A and B are shown apart, each in its own frame.
Chain A
Amino acid sequence: MDVSTSARNQVISRLLAAFIMGFIFINTLGVLTVLLLPVERLVAISWVMFFVFLMYAVVIMWVFYETSLKKVWWSLSLGSVLCGLLSAGILYWESLS
């Protein structure tokens, strides 16, 4: 079993993307979902808390399906930043009104 270095690095990179970057992304996506759901905040948190591991699992599967590693990392980081910014914006707008 000769595992070439590039193949091994690919796997390590995908694992990091799935479990670390995916974790950050799911957290920001989770907050945004809570803020966007048209129900009381605590109820929204409960729903997101129920489905959050399913969402996480789907992200992990996607990371191991997508061909381009670059796309994996870029999508997850941009997604996290976007969800984070949108959430911060919504919270700020709420604090004004």
Chain B
Amino acid sequence: MSKKGYHGSFRQSMTWLHTWFGLVLCWVMYFMFVTGTLGYFDTEIDRWMKPEVPVSEAVSIEESLGIAQSHLEKVGQGATTWYIGPAAERGSDNIYVGWEFPHAEDEEHDHEDDHYHVHAQTGEVIDDDIRETGGGQLLYRMHYNLHYIDKGFAYKLVGIITLIMFVGMITGIVVHKKIFQDLFTFRSHKRSRTWLDLHNLMSVASLPFQIMITYSGLIFMVTVFFPLIGYGSFGFDKPTIKEELPKLFERERVKPLGEPATMTSFSEIGKQLDQEYTPQGIRYFQVLAPGDANARFIAYAYKGVADRAGETWVFNGVTGELIEKKSPSHNAASTVSSTFMGLHEGLFAGPLVRWLYFVAGIMGCIMIASGAIYWVRKRQGQADNQKIGPGFDLVNGLNIGTFIGLLSAIAAYFLANRLLPLGMENRMEWEAHTMFLVWLVLLIHPFLRKNKQQAWFEQCTLASVLFLFIPVINALTTELHLYNSLGNTDWVVAGFDLTAIFTGCLLGFAALKMRQKSVNTELQTKPVAAEV
């Protein structure tokens, strides 16, 4: 390549881009990766964080629908839409019942007052007896709404960060052109090289996942960022746009006739679905214009990985007749998009694949962290005799406070769930406040320590202790402790505690390593300090 680029050759320019794009927002990326990865176990975390939820045996779709209908006809009068989540899977054997009133036209997922859970056997509402908690859902939503920021702004910010992440990945591939060689290179004895090797190992080994998760994340944002392409393609002609574009999102819409009508028995439809159409599993049911002569009962099914493009059955809500069976994706391209989004969410995943997702997500976290730590290590050697800029200290401090500090903060979130008084006002908010307060303190902490190795050691120790506390505090405050959960083979709850113990041990091991290094560094830096 003879042409000189911005920073030398093409590869050199891309190395520059990779370094700086990777570094500048890596702490937010890490936050997104950690909370997003935990999101693969959102339902399981919910179960742990709501120990009062009664364990019930799953009931058939037919029965679920019957129970849900009796509730909705009482509480959902005058609603525009009803939602029913059948008692199903992943440790949640209760029925979800939700309804939307005409005024509820705000952002998605924002109808928190308009739903509850019903015990599948007794048919009673269970939410009143459950502690107020954000659970795994709040934690997982943080990866795209960043919790404290205005939602619309957060989406845009997350979109830009994801784009930067994606550019970081493509340029990363350009930088490491010897990609297969890197997979087998791990030099644990050389200080800064170790971090580079770890960075390469993590990125290369999980590259398909990282690219998929980042690009599909962008696809979620495409209508937020590029609505103008759709509008422009119709010459900004409003009537045509209104007519054409919604077809892409094929949401069922129905015009209420305004004539009241009695709904058919939903469990009859459930029976019909079970026998004749044998869906591969129902994601949820939706009733449009309930109580109206023109009501529609819709069943959304999973379909392999592309659950977003799964089949949809539309029934007449009054007669119970099947009107049509269709695929919600408009064309091949939108099937590709929705498959990507389905892969991103991983809702289809069974326990094994779910753990694979989790591990791949953690590899992404390590990829980000090791890259940023390598940036510091590489400059540490060079900077000894030079003026070290404020940027260096900032990166070093943020690395410690985020890569380990955030883990402590998440442990604190779980502990707050057990320790905050049950009757406390705004309990849910305070769980999250606890998490972010702990993180804030831990972000400041490294800047107060002169010896950064000492800061690493202290933070690892704290995180380790907090994670090991989780099963202990759980045992002291609830009946869901390991002795019981293992005894009852309740793997969801036991798995949570065991994962906390494993994480705690891992961080404890890291702390020990840091302790040795911290002592070494102190010995090395002492004569230098004496000179000054």
Residues of A that sit less than 8 Å from B by CB: 1, 14, 19, 26-28, 30-31, 34-35, 40-50, 52-54, 56-57, 60-61, 64-67, 87, 91, 95
Residues of B within 8 A of A48 (CB): 229
Q: Chain A residue with minimal CB distance to B234?
A: A41
Q: Is the CB of B248 within 8 A of A53?
A: no
Cα(A35)–Cα(B392), bound, Å: 49
Is the C-beta of B334 less than 8 angstroms from some C-beta in chain A?
yes
* Dominant SS among interface residues on chain A: helix
Is the C-beta of B232 less than 8 angstroms from some C-beta in chain A?
yes
Supposing A49-B226, A67-B6 touch, asked if A57 and B170 sit within 8 A by C-beta, the answer is yes
Chain B interfacial residues counted at CB < 8 A: 45
Cα(A48)–Cα(B303), bound, Å: 25
Quick one: CB contact mask for B1-22 with A, threshold 8 Å, 1 for yes? 0011110001001101100000
Partner of B5, one of A35, A43, A49, A66: A66
Q: Chain B residue with minimal CB distance to A92?
A: B235
Min distance, Cβ A96 to any Cβ of chain B, angstroms: 12
Q: Can you give 12 A-B contacts (C-beta < 8 A)?
A: A1-B389, A30-B229, A46-B248, A49-B219, A49-B229, A49-B230, A52-B229, A57-B167, A61-B167, A64-B14, A64-B17, A66-B6
Q: Is the CB of A50 within 8 A of B336?
A: yes
Cα(A1)–Cα(B514), bound, Å: 28
Supposing A46-B334, A64-B13 touch, asked if A27 and B389 sit within 8 A by C-beta, the answer is no
Is the C-beta of B272 less than 8 angstroms from some C-beta in chain A?
no
Residues of A within 8 A of B170 (CB): 57, 61
Q: Is the CB of A42 within 8 A of B248?
A: yes
Is the C-beta of B356 less than 8 angstroms from some C-beta in chain A?
no
Q: Is the CB of A67 within 8 A of B218?
A: no
Min distance, Cβ B58 to any Cβ of chain A, angstroms: 37
Is the C-beta of B330 less than 8 angstroms from some C-beta in chain A?
yes
Residues of B within 8 A of A1 (CB): 387, 389, 391-392
Quick one: CB contact mask for B219-249 with A, threshold 8 Å, 1 for yes? 1001101101110111100000000110110
Cα(A45)–Cα(B232), bound, Å: 10
Residues of A within 8 A of B166 (CB): 53, 57
Residues of B within 8 A of A64 (CB): 6, 13-14, 16-17
Quick one: CB contact mask for B382-393 with A, threshold 8 Å, 1 for yes? 000001010110
Residues of A within 8 A of B6 (CB): 14, 64-67
Cα(A30)–Cα(B233), bound, Å: 9
Known A-B contacts: A50-B337, A53-B163, A91-B235. Give 11 more (CB < 8 A). Answer: A1-B389, A27-B229, A35-B233, A40-B331, A42-B330, A46-B334, A50-B336, A53-B225, A57-B170, A64-B17, A65-B13
